[in-house]
Each structure stands twice: as C-alpha cells, then as structure tokens.
Amino acid sequence: MLEDLKLGPAYEGFLFLAESVRNPPVLRPHHHIELELNLVAQGSITYVVDGRRYTFKKGELLWMFPAQEHQLVDRSADAAYYVAVFKPGLIQRSCRGERYSGLKKQKHASGMVLHTDLSPRDFDTLRQEMDALIADGLDADVLNREAGFGLSGQFTFKHNDPDWLNAGLRHILLFAWRLQQGHNKSKNAIALHPAVRKALEYINLEPVADADIATLARHCGVSDAYLSRIFHKQIGVTLSRYRNSIRISKFWKLYRKSGQKGLLDAVYGAGFGSYAQFFRVFTSTYGKGPRQALKTT
C-alpha cells in the first residue's frame, strides 16, 4: 500500500519520536516515496519486510527504502524510536557524490533491511541532533496521536521553523549514512513460514472480528494449534496479542471519526467483543484506562 505522508511543500521531510505509551499502533503494511530512517532510543520494535521478521533494539539504526513495503508488527511497552523521512528532492540535492549514491536507490541491493548497531558515542550524538530539531516542532502528544503523518485525515505535519528543520534533516541524512557505511547487517532476520505470512495478509485484509483462529487456520492450511505456535515463535508475540493490536489500531481510526459520542460504536466496530475486553487490552497497551487517555486526545 502506497502511503501519502501528507507533507506540505515547505517541508523536505519530517521527524518525530514515536513512543508506545502514547502512539497508536499503525500495523498495516505500507511504503512511501520518502526514504525512512528509524533510530531505536529505548525498548524494541519489530518489523516484517518481504517475508522476514526483524527486531531492533536500543542503539540500532535502520533504513526503509521507498520500494520496501514494511509492517510494524510489535514493539515493547517501553519502546521509543525516532522516525525521520526524507523527500526524494532532498536526497537528490544533498547526495551528489558517489559516497551517498546508495541513498538514491528504491530498494537496498540485498532486499533486506539495512541497519547497524551504533557505538554509544555515535548514538548519543545522533540522538542529540534529532532532539534539537524536535524541540522546535509540534507537541509530542500531537505527533504521536497522529502517528507522524495524520491518521485523522485533517492533520498535516508542521514545524515552527521549516528552514531549520530542512537543514537539520539534510545533516541527519548524511551523518546517519556515514555511520551506516560498512555495516550491512542481517543477523536478526527470520524468514517467515508461509502459514505465518498468509495469516498476516489475511488479518490485514479481512475484518478483525471475523478473523478468529479457526478461520485463520483454515485459510492458512494448518491446524489451530500449529498456527498459534509458529506465529508466536516467528513474530515474537502471540496471535491473540497481534490481533488485539490490530483492533486497537482500527479503534483509533473509527474513534477519530466519531469522537466521545461514538466510543462504543468504535469499540465494537474494531472487533472487540465487549467493552470489558477493550478496556483490558487498552489499559495493557497504554498503561491507563481509555476514558482517562481519551481526555487528552
């Protein structure tokens, strides 16, 4: 799915710090014309890219090229990670030498996720530069609420000093690429079983409420027990937890269209069987109850 990141002409990209405790999960597979960079500041995040699962921890730098469809499938409760994207025009203007030619590609030659472990010194330096740009931007709660690029439909990214942001993004792009060179790692890639890949595709396409374990298992051509076991082993989370994350993501989408008056409609429309189930999953995800959390949205 090609995602429109809704970046206005004044911006060469965007940057924000995503935090599990206040950032709605966006688990649909997608790609975009912009190059994406993630830096894990805390906890861990897990992606599926081209049938492989990758888990990245604090201090790891990773790249998603424009043609790489990627799907966030899990993150630890304490996860915090910087998300930066760079428009093609910025890359063309900034990367003129051979050293940076790799940034102009649509996909990394290996087909895998390019990443590296940063030294503590390099991690701190890059993080400080990102923090300096974020400090003069939109409120962190707003950026997390909109998942960086506007789940609500009306949101567009803004920054208090676009020129400063654009200059900073260019420097971050080049600096991060210099840190990456010579470190084409793939040590934590796990090739997914065909049944797991089918399950992910099915859950993404079908209404969550209908995608029970029996239906999923039949679609994947395996038993309920085997699907549950292999999914947990390869994705790193239980099938139930993943489906609940999908429900939470769908809840946010529906809730933002209806507001407080449509709370229960959003709960049931997202596939939760009861408000009690929704409350339990929501509280486990965000560390506080929905009514308390929704007061700030």
Give 3-state DSSP helix, strand, coil % of the chain, rounded to 5.
Answer: 45, 20, 35
Mean pLDDT of 206-211: 56
The per-residue pLDDT for 60 is 97
The per-residue pLDDT for 209 is 47
Structural domains of the chain ordered from first start: 13-180 (2.60.120.280), 193-294 (1.10.10.60)
Least confidently predicted of 78-87, 132-141, 148-157: 148-157
- Asked if 48 and 73 count as a contact pair (C-beta separation under 8 A), the reply is yes
The per-residue pLDDT for 1 is 79
Q: What is the pLDDT of residues 221-238, one digit of tens each?
A: 999 999 999 999 999 889
Mean pLDDT of 258-263: 72
Question: Which backbone phi and psi does 49 adopt, to 5 degrees?
Answer: -135, 120
Q: What is the pLDDT of residues 173-200, one digit of tens each?
A: 999 999 999 776 555 789 999 999 999 9
Whole-number mean pLDDT of the chain? 88
